Amino acid sequence: MLAGGHGDPNPNASWLDSRGLWLAYVLGMVSFHIILLAIPFVQIPYAWTITNVSHNLAHLYFLHSIKGAPWMSIECGENRKYTHWEQIDYGEQFTTTKKFLTAAPIVLFVLSMENYFVF
């Protein structure tokens, strides 16, 4: 726990459940896509592909590569050996947060592929 506070012992595991975060997450992805569309000579399918690849690389790095929590010391607790994905909802599987974070890249992939094929 930081500085003897009365908060969550591992805030890395609970911030994704905060109010309005899913909306901010979606708005962040949409904002990034709109910024890409504002660049001249970037066509819509390429903007979707860049958004998809950037999002997936960020997910890979921040959720599945970094271990521990940035605000906790290395010697502190068991969480130092778990990735952020393993710490979400204290390791419980099939929670709404994990389902949302699994569905977001899938929806983004479908949106990026929709612009390449005409159904």
Q: Enumerate the domain spans of the chain.
A: 11-117
Tell me the average pLDDT across 83-103. 86
Write the pLDDT tens digit of every residue in 32-73: 999 999 999 999 889 999 999 999 999 999 888 888 776 666
Alpha helices in the chain (DSSP H): 21-37, 44-64, 84-87, 96-114
Tell me the average pLDDT across 82-97. 83
Give pTM, 2 decimals: 0.80
Residue closest to 50 by CA, chosen among 38, 62, 64: 38
